[in-house]
Structure 1
């Protein structure tokens, strides 16, 4: 597919390095909504994005929306649910960090973690870290896919994953995801996962991923 013919948000989605998986998902949805009147172009763009974004779980959910009976409505629903989920996750994470009342560090590249950090007092964002936050590009039944360095962080400090349900995928889908900048980390290495505003034990999050069907 000729990348030059894609809507600007889709071109940005495959080149941006600072948006995180959630930011990329928003760009993808915006761009596909510009094409959705043309089913052939939408399908081609979706397949292109799946190939170019091999580490992003949201693409599985977005592709399912594109293939549904009402793709425009399904894409808009994902976007609305994502905005609400991110807001709730940020609030819950800020509360969790405040309860720990300890300096925090983080794995880079998560737009949700970045939002959390802006709401934390300076005394928590400075000093020798005692806890850590990390995003997730994908979560399967037993494993998290995220930027390299996340495993080392989880081994060194109690680390909370901060994300949304759009990152959950069943095992067959998770097994296909990955890229050189990502690494696989056992889900049970984390102290918990904030999912759409709920602070959950890793086992519960894994169970929810396992219940999804390809």
Structure 2
């Protein structure tokens, strides 16, 4: 009769637009620097299954906004959701969207809330993911709102885990320096070191499903970096 999968894929399909050097995204800077560099130099179509995962995350974010807006919520007031973020640095622009800004009624503090969907919260996370912290630190630094939380929600059952992220000026400045490094390597057409392979303990997992893995190992063989 018809295929709903096909209808869905057509609905969420994104027009493929190569990314322009000089415009960078907060959600990417926690990734391996070489992978981000490759995504500008050798852009690839996003896999339909990955697009579905992104869309499921968007739906979950919308649900979180509904919960925060609800009259049943007596703890916080939603001030903004999905609002634009732009910052110009040394001739380039960092651009994205911030999930939520809330007012905590008991303290009167404004708090940035970044929502991250996950496939399994069956185990207790001991700390938030570093790449998510980098994104939130950037937002807190630029906006001058120094209270933030990372909210992880299991897509299967809505189980959640929340981490308070204290503002760290030094760390946030390191995030901006990483953007500067990316911009410099792109403009000079110079391949960055394979960051995830160098810092394997923290980032090695990124290599497993990286779409640029073969290209990366060809450029830098295992006898140079594992």
The TM-score bracket by the shorter chain reads 0.3 to 0.5
Q: TM-score, normalised by structure 1?
A: 0.34
Instruction: Return the index of the structure with the highest Cα Rg.
Output: 2
Q: Which has the higher helix share?
A: 1
